Structure formats: structure tokens, C-alpha cells
Amino acid sequence: MEISELIKVARGEEPAELLLKNARVVNVFSGEIEETGVAITHSRVIGLGNDYPANRTVDLNGKYIAPGFIDAHVHIESAMVPPFEFARAVVPHGTTSVIIDPHEIANVLGVEGIRYMLEASKYTPFSVYVMVPSCVPATHLETNGGILRWSDLIPFKDDPWVIGLGEMMNYPGVLFRDQEVLDKLRAFFNRRIDGHAPGVTGRDLEAYVAAGIASDHECTNVEEAREKIRLGMRVMIREASNAQNLKALLPVITAKNARRILFVTDDRFPADLIDQGHIDYIVRTAIREGLDPVTAIQIATLNASEYFNLHDRGAISPGRRADLIIFDNFENLRIEQVYRGGVLVARNGRTLPQDVPPRNLPIKNSMNVNWSKVDLRLPASGHKKIRVMGMVPDQITTTQSVEDALIKDGNVVADTARDILKIAVIERHQNTGNVGIGFVHGLKLKQGAIGSSVAHDSHNIIVAGTNDDDLMSAARAIAAMQGGLVAVKNGEVLARVPLPIAGLMSDQPLERVRSQMDHLVDVTKDLGSDLHAPFMAMAFLALPVIPELKLTDRGLVDVNKFDFVPVLVD
């Protein structure tokens, strides 16, 4: 809208296109709730007041209006659907902007993966901004499908939807001044750079912040969050399907530091998006736990917009985008209407039909497994003890312990009596035949095996279970689908979720994916696991930047040492 025209409408000299009158407007600048109206023209708020002349007027009869929510850090791929279907899930919950880091698909397809997400995000009912992946691959300890050097990322800086550098997971690379890491930090020194520094403290944390890294979403306790806030970082409080940190971190929020907090979902499965919600679930839970309602909304809106320099949104004020949500109370926070740029895009839990239908973009097969080299046996070779990854409930960290090995026919096997299951990561990108083998406690399967081509962050095939035959059956079924999730018993696939888009996302509607996932999780429960999100929990067992013990296609990794350690122990 031309500025002179905007001024005319704001002064009341010409009518606004739309007036939402008799509302309670959440003012995230002043912390007040104002009884007034909101006038909108050409996607912008042009003024507040009930008396603006307008071509169309809607009486809200005292309902609340707040800015649209912003998810400050999310991997859309973790919802197992492409951006349009993800929008159908989250826009009705009030999310009008998301900041994505497409490092999942970039680890599979490299630059092509980033381009896919940018293209697939066009013509969707929300705004998608991109933080280009900083760590592809995440470490040198695994094999992935693409390598992104600083020179590969530079061209993306010219894209108006690219706003910075994604989470710098390779904090050892920062601290020990890896040249490629430093080149990426230099290339984006004048943009936002997100962090990922679980448990980093003291001088190491100060060095990490000094490098220009401005946020972190890996805090799990108040002390860690306070230290990072004191050093000037924004703390992103995460409530994902598996890593649930909200309630533990809410006590860190005070009137003095609330502007340093953001809300993020990071990784959230379809069932949780549909049943619980998105950022609205975090805001609702925070309010119920005692956080001031306006502060909760401020964190979910203005804080994110200012951190990412998106000053055209995040608040209801003249000149800002009319990204708005309408609801009737703070207790239930049920979003009744969602406006994006002044256009109603969702009502009563459903997105409205779009003028532009979603596009089916071509993408190559990402399965390239050298089955002739895949051997899941682990000869004991005289050893009687093994290192075991211990899963931590509702977190993506693990513990490590040394346990007695169960040996049959000279091979170390799973021990279901002690909930020690076999786990394997099979390389699927470069036909290497690499197989990493380990053992995990906490998955709780009593029969069969489960597997997935979603295994953060390199997304090789990961399988876990009670016997080698079912592990192999699961792996082969995943490859045959061009990616996906499966549950297997006695060689038979009992349930599956095909993910043919890079082995990460489905080409089916969200509801279909949710139905498939519900069946898969039910079958997994029948096999013995009672975890809320067993497949997401398993996916993070392959992430060698989260302490303590993780498994990649190249072997077992002690994350504290940032090096491989043997599974078999003397």
C-alpha cells in the first residue's frame, strides 16, 4: 500500500476495508488490554478505535484480539508433512508465522532440500521464514546426503525469506575454531545466528556467545537458562513432542527478563499438533501454570518478531501486518478466527479454502543402501560387557552405562528381560554399507522391532528391537517405501507410515498421516513400548551433538568426548 494512501485511511479521510469493533485488544507493547476496535486496509492495521469509517464492519462483542503467534524455531519436516499440510495443522491454532530451519531435508538433499522447502512454502496461509542450516552434516561422526559449506549458503542471503543462520549445533567446532564453522559465522555476522548449546557453561559459553550466536533452545533447567540470559542470549523455551521443557523453565521468567524469552516447538508430531495444538498450547499451558496472560502472548508474538527483525508483525499497531487471532478467554484460549494480512484464513479449527492449491513438487528418491555390506550381527569376541544408551523420559539426552552382555551363539543380542534392546543405524545416502550397532535401555519393546528413516540429523535408517531378523525386515521395508516408519514382528510389517519425500515427509493429507501414526504407535504399544512418542525418541538416539551417548552409521559416540567409543567393553 502506498504510504500516502495509508496515511489517508489512518486519519479517517477514506474508509478502511475492515473494522473489527468492540474488541479487547491485547497490547503487547504496554501490557494492557484495551477495549477498542482494529481498522485494517491492504493487509495492514491502520488504527485502533471503534469509530473508524469502514467498508465492512464486524462486531466482536467483547472477544479478544491478539497478534498472530510466531513459532521462533521449528523443523516442519518433523511433522512428517510438507509446508502446506503443516499450515493446515497450525494456522487454525493461531500461528501466522514460522521460523524454520530445514536442516533435516538439507542433510538428505543438501542445497536441493533448502530450495524444496522455500518453493513448497509459497502460497501457504502463513509466513515461512528460513534460517539456513549451519551444520550439514551436524558433525564428522556420521554420513549424510549433502555437505553445505559457507559458499553454498551465501546465495541464499539474497532471498527475502531467508533471515539468518540456523542453529549452530557444532559448538565444539565454534570453541576449537574449526575453519569451516568460522567461515559460516563470518558470512552471517550481520544476520541472526541461532544457537544449540546443551549444557555449555562458563568460559565455553562466553566464547560461544562472543562468536555472535544469539539464542539457545536446548535449556533443560532454570540455572542453565539464567546463565544464558545473563550473557545476552534469547532463551527459546521448547515444548516438542519428545523434549518437553516448558514447565521446568517457566520459573526462569520474571518481569525483568520476560523480553528475552521466546516460545518454540522445534519438533512436533501430527497427533500432538491436532490434539494439543501448536504455540497456542504453549501459551495456554504457561497461563495455567501461572504466567501473566499478556506476558505469555507477548513472548509468543512481539519477542519473536523483534529478535528476528520482523518489525512488520508481532503486535497490533498502525502500519503492522494484520496477522491477528480472535478468542473468547485466556483460560481455554480456543482460537475462533485467524487473520493473515487482514484476510480470514481459519475459523473454528479449520483453514479456509485457498485460492492457490498446494503444488506437488518433484523430488528424487533418497534411498541408496548397499545391502550386500549390511550385517547386524555383533560378535562378542571374548567380551562380556557392553555400553548401553539410557533414554531419559521426555528429553532427548541420554545416559550411558556398562552392562553385562547377553551372548548367544557367540553374538551379543538384545536382552528384553532387562529392557536392553539392539539398535542399528544403516547408512542410506552414499551406498557405503556403513552400519553402526549399539544397545539402548528405555524403549521397552518386548517383541519385534521398529524402524524409521527419520534419525536426526543425518537421517539414516534407524532400527531397534529384540532380534536381528526383525531389525533387518524393518530396514528393508523402510527402503522399499522410499522412506518411512514401520513396526515389525516375526518378519511381518504390522504398521507403516510411508514418507517418500526425502524419507522425511508424506505426500498424504495430515489427517491420513495422523491416522497412520496412531495405528503405528498402537502396534508399537502392543509390542511392549509405552512411550508417548517412541519414534521421535528413537530418532534422537542418532544425534551425536546431544549428550551423552549416541549412535551413528559410523559407530557409538561419546558426545562428551566428541569421539567414538567401542560398544564392547573389557
* pLDDT tens digit sequence for 248-262: 999 999 999 999 999
* pLDDT tens digit sequence for 27-52: 999 999 999 999 999 999 999 999 99
Q: State which amino acid sits at residue 517.
A: M
- pLDDT above 80 (res 242): no
> C-alpha cell of 495?
504398521
The per-residue DSSP string of 396-458 comes to: S-EEEEEEEPEEETTEEE-BGGGTEEEEEEE--SS----EEEEEEES----SSEEEES--TTT
Q: State which amino acid sits at residue 195.
A: G
* Angle, alpha carbons 234-238-244 (nearest 5°): 145
* pLDDT tens digit sequence for 437-479: 999 999 999 999 999 999 998 999 999 999 999 999 999 999 9
| Residue ranges of domains in the chain | 68-311, 371-569
- pLDDT above 70 (res 357): no
* pLDDT tens digit sequence for 141-196: 999 998 999 999 999 999 999 999 999 988 888 999 999 999 999 999 999 999 99
The domain 68-311 having CATH identifier 3.20.20.140: the answer here is yes
- pLDDT above 80 (res 307): yes
How far apart are alpha carbons 303 and 503 in whole angstroms? 34
Whether 211 contacts 174, CB under 8 Å: yes
Local structure of 493: helix, strand or coil:
strand
pTM, rounded to two decimals: 0.92
Report percent pLDDT > 70 for the chain: 99
Local structure of 539: helix, strand or coil:
helix
Sorting pLDDT into bands at 50, 70 and 90, what band is 81?
very high
